[in-house]
Structure 1
Amino acid sequence: MSDTHHIAVLMGGWANEREVSLMSGHGVADALESKGHRVTQIDMGRDVAARIAEAAPDVVFNALHGVPGEDGTVQGMLELMGIPYTHSGVATSVIAIDKQLTKQALIPHGIPMPGGRIVKSEELFERDPLPRPYVLKPVNEGSSVGVAIVTEDSNVGNPIARDAAGPWQEFPELLAEPFIKGRELTTAVIDGPDGPKALGVTELIIDNGFYDFEHKYTEGRTQHVCPAQIPPAIAALCEDYAIRAHKLLGCHGTSRTDFRWDDEAGEEGLFVLETNTQPGMTPLSLVPEQAKHAGIDYPDLCEMIVREALRVHAANGGADG
């Protein structure tokens, strides 16, 4: 970026991922200041529109995670205000945060994702929606918030007991998917002058359980192997699927696509779980780690995301789309 800007970094909010968002936002703010930009940090409250209007930034760096910062709500507000913002636009955000809508957008284009269906939580107390083992997750939460794996020897009962601890206590509807055994992989995509580029593949090896919210954000609970020690054909397929998902969903700036790979099944065992339109930017986050391995340091990564926001805004005649 040849000149400097006044950048408002929007963070915090009231979603389950508030603390993660604050870590991302503070890191981004420090990085952008180190590059000479003027930065205003905004911890989002209900008065967010007034605070952004008062700050009058050139561009907003959206470091929010979860609802309402990642689901199109904040994006729509910023478009009404006519302010450029980072990451994906309204339509993309609405689709990508909804796991069922994401399937409808990607599967018809040949991107493999687990099957499954939406179930009322009340139904779970009568019968299993799928053969065990299966996964239950909220339709529109990120960072593995509210994910449960139901196995034959789960301590939740069979069928699930009404008083058992789990996401069915918090969410009236859940997405049920078959459990895919195997390895956890992820690929970040960054937009640049030549279009979207995959930054590599990381394997996530956890100490026990699965890659849930605690494992994602507690140091020492998950080992990041970057680059992943996997066959070149699987790495290439991860990068291909991640770029295609980024394009099909209409992502901007950066995205991260998560996979499960049953290594006993080869290429047929690779499945996309979701595409995250606003990946974390904390010290433990995967996008900065992959960018560093690709030769892009953290401040430059933040600037690249801002640069793309300004490009998209200008290309759309002042609307981010």
Structure 2
Amino acid sequence: MSAAIPYTPAGTVHSADIPFNRRPVSPLKVAATAVGYVIMIVIAAFTLLPFVWMVLSSVKNNNEIFTVPLKWLPDVWHWENYGLIWQKADLLGWTKNTIILAVAVTLLQIVTGSFAAYGFSKIRFAGRDVLFLCYIATMAVPWQSYMIPQFKMLSSWGLSDSLPSIILMQSFSAFGVFMMKQFYDTIPEELSEAARIDGLSEFGIYGRIILPLSGPSIAALGIITFTNAWNEYMQPLIYLRSPELWTIQIGLKTFIGEYSASYDMIMTGSVLSVLPILVVFLFGQKYFIEGIATSGMKG
């Protein structure tokens, strides 16, 4: 018996019968794309080369770092520098203090920023827009203008030489409120209204509806806040006078003053201070980009 031939309606055109039709690309567009890639590669190289030089210098002999002409690769790789730095400096204590500050400040800014942003975005009350504009306007006021009154206030509370002083100063962020509000404005109001009709309180709406939808924006705010708190130098310099409370930035500054000629140790300490930020960003870059795209770019 012959195999049954499938029925094909008249006028049917198979995809295999359609000739390959590709739109021509103009040489100008190809050249512009190539130039764009070259520019991005050059910018990336200028950005990464100092960090690459710092990493390579951290495993060099001290005399090889500033040789002329410049030698990128060492003759002997001195990986022991990463063990010596822990013996010559209190790197463990500095790192512990910095982690405590960065994690505490990040969590507090996420909580306070997202909660305040919910109020400004989803709750209607008299003077809401004016109050939001006044709060956001504080970003234009430099910290140096109220640095001395703030120091006197915290000193009168007995917090001048303690980690809670730094945590308290950085617990609130107008930028975090602005960023989270931009994202909350994109969430349909119908979700909140439906929850209110069902009897859910504002705290319930915030915790059970809004926060689960805010993952990318919270991750972006967390990465930005953690990076700023980790790299903060001026506030710990002013408030933390006891060496056992120093952060890694203050500790490295004193280490550089003490070992001003040991450039290999200085580079090693600098690499170790950058690594946590690099790890955090590498693991959270997907959510960071998504959060910026959904909140920070909204007009």
* TM-score using structure 2 length: 0.21
Identify which of structures 1 and 2 has the higher relative contact order when contacts are C-alpha pairs closer than 8 Å and 6+ apart: 2
* TM-score using structure 1 length: 0.20
Higher strand share: 1
